[in-house]
Amino acid sequence: MSMLEINDIHTYYGNIHALNGISLKVEKGEIVTLIGANGAGKTTTLRTIAGLLKPRQGQVLLEGEDITKLKAHEVVYKGVAMVPEGRGIFARLTVTENLDLGAYSRTDRQNFAQDLERVFTIFPRLKERQKQVAGTLSGGEQQMLAMGRSLMARPRILLMDEPSMGLAPILVESIFDTIVAINKEGTTILLVEQNALMALSIAARGYVLQTGEIVLLDSAANLKQNEMVRKSYLGIE
Amino acid sequence: MNKQINNGFRTGLIFGIINIFLILIGFPMVAGTIIKDAIHNDSTVLLGLNADILDMLIFMGLIGLWAGASGGRRLKGEVDTWLDALASSASSGFTNGLLVGGLAYLLGALNDAGVRISVYLAAILPATIKQLLLGKNTLDGALLEFGFLFVTGLLGGALGFALRGQWRKALGDWWKKIWSGFVNSAWVRKIRSHPLFMPAVYALGLVILYIIPQEAGKYWNYTLGTVGIYVLLGLGLNVVVGFAGLLDLGYVAFFAIGAYTVALLTAPNPHHLMWSFWVALPIGIVLAAAAGILLGIPVLRMRGDYLAIVTLGFGEIIRILATSDLLTPFSGGPKGVSAIGGPTLFGKPFSSDKDFVYLIMIGILLTIFVTTQLRSSRVGRAWEAMREDETVARAMGINTLTHKLMAFAIGAAFAGLGGVLFASRNQFTGPEDHNLMVSINVLSVVIVGGMGSIPGVIAGAFALKGLPEVLREVQDYRVLFFGALLVIMMIWRPEGLWPSSRRSMELGKADDNAKKNSGAPGGKP
């Protein structure tokens, strides 16, 4: 059974038909990437899975369980965590308070210290900045915090929305290394990216999204060789 | 040097404008009267000036000193010499004096021309103008006034400079040594580490709280009660605005529901139910909380400005409903409800102003207890997240709908408690007790005090509701005073009088932190 399966999702913003029948699958332990241009519907897809948007049609299944009708906060309790677009950290709270809120959905508070230690091992810089107000962190640190916070929920699947956005190339590389490390520890990841080259280099499979529809799906290696992908998303003639 | 003189002029301008404002509302004369009451009662004559003028001059002189000291203060990155300090304080005193002297001349000239200024500005009587001109004729008086402020300004600058030299440092060091010696001495440590120390402090606090109403007279107890009710309301609104970040401008609605509940249940008219206060109290709180939820449901999906507008409407609806013809037989209409019952204790009436101060204190302590517990709880954390970013809060697993309703209900419950106590103490309530100004006042209490901060709200209530009572003489200009205070506060101290640690962190230290980090080696990855 797939970790996440969505079938023929149609999502609207008012009358605008944003997603026109999207279907995709993420197997347990995989990194799957969703690439596409601006406005293709990548973020909308993630928000629909997370329950922040309600599809008019279609199904979202988490290990076979239908979570389409659940509210956003209920979806979190099922083990779906999100690293929102633009990081979405709580800028006026401290690093520790942000991480604490990441664990809000957890009922087993006794493991909190252990989880905190785990996040600090992955992101030693966050440990140095524990008491600092999150809004004063640099862009890279904020991304680390957003990722660390989502890990505090011990998700079964992590939805990541453009983790490379607005970061220097050298930082992008280290963030992607961390994504691989998190995946190796057993978290399934669905990654939305504009930086297609980076995304395809760490993902097992990829979907290409165009104006609300999946136009291509293949293994990451094949997608990298695909002429249309090379032209449109990798900028290679 | 130029920078300092510039600063001097600017400071003088600010002080001058504030001075003009104070004079126009007649404040220096009032302050003079207060000084007179405080220091002496006889009518001394000095240098041909009578006591009234002297007392006013004392006040003006203090302002002048302050203006000079502030204008001649040391600026960051500038050399600090006698010459700079004097030049800048002189420019500050000059500007301040010019503005005030100019005003004095203008008022004097108008008065001489037979214009009755008190028609337009109630505080500016011919006698006041005479006082402002130091009893001299217009030109001499204005020049003297100017000279006085100029000299005091210069003096203030000199004083400020002298005090910030070696002298002040020595004084500071001496005090620090004494204080740390005291704190670290063996017996102080022993007492502080004793398990009964904190309970003893609390007990002492309670004893003081018990004594104050005993010693205060009727008038002060009434004032304390009013301030206390605003503390209660402020603490309640603080939950909604400060903790949960929902801007509620209709807070008075819940206050009104509490007040009307106790009124209709205990008063002889219009229903003659004559229930006990102690029965009406919980009913009032519960009804207010229920109204909070009722208001909450339709506005759940609204944010920011929209929420503020809708709640504003709700607040007005309750008041207008109470005065409507339709509900007049039920609510007492525009005339309100009188002879509201007070509480009894062991068969004896317990409803003097003093007794109510105790009741209100208990209410406040209860509110403080509940709000501090809430803030550190799971609910408090959820509110915090919601206030920062609602969408992300939902993505963290927080049910924002129920948490919003909870904030509304809890805030409303405290407002209901405040309303019950208010109506029962006054033995009367009517639509005019529940107008929009109440909502605005409570919101101001929260903002001036420090959003999200419990001691801040208490300080804010004393500053905004207590101070005007003390300064009864300027009552006519209270709203003006209030407005000026709000503007000044928002410019100089946007985090409030006594901010929560979080707010001061955001507004003050946050910049320092950012600087520190970018400056540190390898700070930014």
B212-228 confidence digits (pLDDT tens): 888 878 888 888 999 99
Counting one residue from A and one from B, how many pairs have CB atoms under 8 Å apart?
Answer: 85
Taking the Cβ of residue A79 and every Cβ of chain B, the question of whether any pair is shorter than 8 Å is answered with no
In a domain, B211, yes or no: no
In a domain, B461, yes or no: yes
Is residue A109's pLDDT more than 50? Answer: yes
Lowest mean per-residue pLDDT among A228-237, B223-232, B233-242, B388-397: A228-237
Is residue B519's pLDDT more than 60? Answer: no
Name which residue leads in pLDDT, B408 or B59.
B408
Is residue A233's pLDDT more than 90? Answer: no
- Nearest CA among B446, B470, B456, B435 for reference residue B499: B456
In a domain, B337, yes or no: yes
Is residue B308's pLDDT more than 70? Answer: yes
**Is residue B150 located within the same domain as residue B252?**
no
**Is residue B277 located within the same domain as residue B147?**
no
Structure ipTM: 0.90
Q: Which domain-ending residue is among B158, B174, B190?
A: B174
Name A64's Cβ contacts closer than 8 Å, sequence gap at least 6: A1, A5
Tell me which residue range forms the domain holding B233.
Answer: 221-512
- Nearest CA among A170, A160, A225 for reference residue A194: A160
CB within 8 Å: B524 and A104: no
Which residues are bridge partners to A158 per DSSP? Answer: A81, A189
CB < 8 Å to A155, chain B: none
Is residue B402's pLDDT more than 70? Answer: yes
Q: Which domain-ending residue is among B140, B174, B208?
A: B174
| Contact of B403 with B382, CB cutoff 8 Å | yes
CB within 8 Å: B525 and A140: yes
Is residue B503's pLDDT more than 70? Answer: no
In a domain, B210, yes or no: no
3-state secondary structure of A6: strand
Residue A73, pLDDT score = 93
**Is residue B165 located within the same domain as residue B226?**
no
Taking the Cβ of residue A97 and every Cβ of chain B, the question of whether any pair is shorter than 8 Å is answered with yes
The pair of three-digit structure tokens given for residue B486, joined into one six-digit string? 């709000």
Q: What is the mean pLDDT of residues A172-185?
A: 93
Nearest by CB to residue B506, choosing from A88, A92, A138, is A92
Residue B505: how many other CB atoms lie within 10 Å:
20
Is residue B431's pLDDT more than 90? Answer: no
Q: Which domain-ending residue is among B174, B197, B213?
A: B174
The percent of residues in chain B predicted with pLDDT above 70, rounded, is 89
Nearest by CB to residue B396, choosing from A102, A133, A141, is A102
Looking up residue B362, the CATH number of its domain turns out to be 1.10.3470
Residue B471, pLDDT score = 63
Name which residue leads in pLDDT, B176 or B365.
B365
Give the nearest chain B residue to A88 (CA atoms): B392
CA distance B461 to B230: 6
A61-70: pLDDT as tens digits:
999 999 999 9
Q: What is the mean pLDDT of residues B186-199?
A: 82
Mean pLDDT, rounded, of chain B: 83
CB < 8 Å to A97, chain B: 381, 384
**DSSP collapsed to 3 states, A43-111:** HHHHHHHCCCCCCCEEEEEECCEECCCCCHHHHHHCCEEEECCCCCCCCCCEHHHHHHHHCCCCCCHHH
The strand ranges marked E within B361-513 are: 428-429
Is residue B416's pLDDT more than 90? Answer: yes
CB within 8 Å: A153 and B506: no
Q: How confident is the model at residue B522 (pLDDT cuts 50, 70, 90)?
A: very low
Q: What is the mean pLDDT of residues B48-67?
A: 80
Taking the Cβ of residue A112 and every Cβ of chain B, the question of whether any pair is shorter than 8 Å is answered with no
**Is residue B308 located within the same domain as residue B363?**
yes
**H helix or E strand, kind and range, residue A12:** strand A4-13
- Nearest CA among A227, A161, A222 for reference residue A195: A161
User: Which letter does DSSP use for residue A39 in this model?
Assistant: T
The pair of three-digit structure tokens given for residue B446, joined into one six-digit string? 């929260």
Residue B42, pLDDT score = 62
Q: What is the mean pLDDT of residues B167-172?
A: 75
Taking the Cβ of residue A120 and every Cβ of chain B, the question of whether any pair is shorter than 8 Å is answered with no
Domain count, chain B: 2
**Is residue B142 located within the same domain as residue B255?**
no
Alpha carbon separation from A65 to A5, A72, A81, A191, B197 (Å, rounded): 10, 15, 16, 21, 57
Residue A30, pLDDT score = 94
Residue B509, pLDDT score = 44
CB < 8 Å to B399, chain A: 71, 73
Q: How far is B35 from chain A (nearest CA, A)?
A: 46
Among A73, A97, A141, the strongest candidate for a mutation testing the B interface, having the largest count of B CBs within 10 A, is A73
Q: How confident is the model at residue B335 (pLDDT cuts 50, 70, 90)?
A: confident
- Nearest CA among B170, B327, B300, B185 for reference residue B244: B300
In a domain, B521, yes or no: no
Which residues are bridge partners to A217 per DSSP? Answer: A207
Give the nearest chain B residue to A132 (CA atoms): B513
**Is residue B148 located within the same domain as residue B266?**
no
Name B88's Cβ contacts closer than 8 Å, sequence gap at least 6: B4, B5, B7, B8, B71, B72, B157
DSSP-derived pairing of the beta strands A157-161 and A80-83: parallel
User: Which letter does DSSP use for residue B114 in this model?
Assistant: T
Residue B505, pLDDT score = 56
In a domain, B179, yes or no: no
**Is residue B264 located within the same domain as residue B153?**
no
Name which residue leads in pLDDT, B118 or A89.
A89
CA distance A2 to B326: 63
Q: How confident is the model at residue B521 (pLDDT cuts 50, 70, 90)?
A: very low
In a domain, B482, yes or no: yes
Most confident option among B46-55, B188-197, B221-230, B295-304: B221-230
Lowest mean per-residue pLDDT among A72-81, A145-154, A227-236: A227-236
A127-163: pLDDT as tens digits:
999 999 999 999 899 999 999 999 999 999 999 999 9
Is residue A77's pLDDT more than 90? Answer: yes
Q: What is the mean pLDDT of residues A116-128?
A: 93
CB < 8 Å to A100, chain B: 381
The pair of three-digit structure tokens given for residue A219, joined into one six-digit string? 């293994």
**Is residue B499 located within the same domain as residue B366?**
yes
Q: How far is A208 from chain B (nearest CA, A)?
A: 25
Is residue B474's pLDDT more than 70? Answer: no
Taking the Cβ of residue A171 and every Cβ of chain B, the question of whether any pair is shorter than 8 Å is answered with yes
CB < 8 Å to A125, chain B: 525
Q: What is the mean pLDDT of residues B414-434?
A: 92
Residue B45, pLDDT score = 61
**Is residue B164 located within the same domain as residue B279?**
no
3-state secondary structure of B134: coil
Is residue B85's pLDDT more than 70? Answer: yes
Is residue B302's pLDDT more than 70? Answer: yes
Cα dihedral B238, B243, B244, B248 in deg (nearest 10): 20
Q: What is the mean pLDDT of residues B171-194?
A: 82
Taking the Cβ of residue A13 and every Cβ of chain B, the question of whether any pair is shorter than 8 Å is answered with no
CA angle B62, B66, B68 (to 5 degrees): 115
Q: How far is B499 from chain A (nearest CA, A)?
A: 14
CA distance B409 to B296: 8
Is residue A183's pLDDT more than 90? Answer: yes
CB < 8 Å to A76, chain B: 395-397
Looking up tokens 């003390």, which residue turns up? B470
**Is residue B154 located within the same domain as residue B229?**
no
**H helix or E strand, kind and range, residue B438:** helix B436-449
Q: Mark out chain B residues that contact chain A at CB-CB < 8 A.
A: 378, 381-382, 384-385, 388-389, 391-400, 502, 505-506, 510, 513-514, 517, 523-525
- Nearest CA among B412, B478, B423 for reference residue B229: B423
**Is residue B333 located within the same domain as residue B476?**
yes
Name which residue leads in pLDDT, B489 or B45.
B489
Name which residue leads in pLDDT, B240 or B25.
B240
Residue B470, pLDDT score = 65
CA distance B94 to B89: 8
CA angle B425, B431, B433 (to 5 degrees): 45
Residue A206, pLDDT score = 95
Most confident option among B161-165, B186-190, B408-412: B408-412
Residue B225, pLDDT score = 92
The pair of three-digit structure tokens given for residue B162, joined into one six-digit string? 């002298």
The tally of CA atoms less than 13 A away on the side-chain side of residue B401 is 9
Q: What is the mean pLDDT of residues B351-379?
A: 91
Residue B136: how many other CB atoms lie within 10 Å:
17
Taking the Cβ of residue A50 and every Cβ of chain B, the question of whether any pair is shorter than 8 Å is answered with yes
**Is residue B297 located within the same domain as residue B438?**
yes
In a domain, B195, yes or no: no
Name which residue leads in pLDDT, B434 or B37.
B434
CB within 8 Å: B391 and A132: no
Is residue B525's pLDDT more than 60? Answer: no
Q: How confident is the model at residue B33 (pLDDT cuts 50, 70, 90)?
A: confident
Give the nearest chain A residue to B516 (CA atoms): A136
Q: How confident is the model at residue B520 (pLDDT cuts 50, 70, 90)?
A: very low
Mean pLDDT, rounded, of chain A: 92
Instruction: Judge residue A201's burial from the number of C-beta atoms within 10 Å of its C-beta, 0-12 exposed, 13-18 middle, 19 or more buried.
Output: middle
Strand order in the sheet with A4-13: A16-26, A4-13, A57-62, A65-66
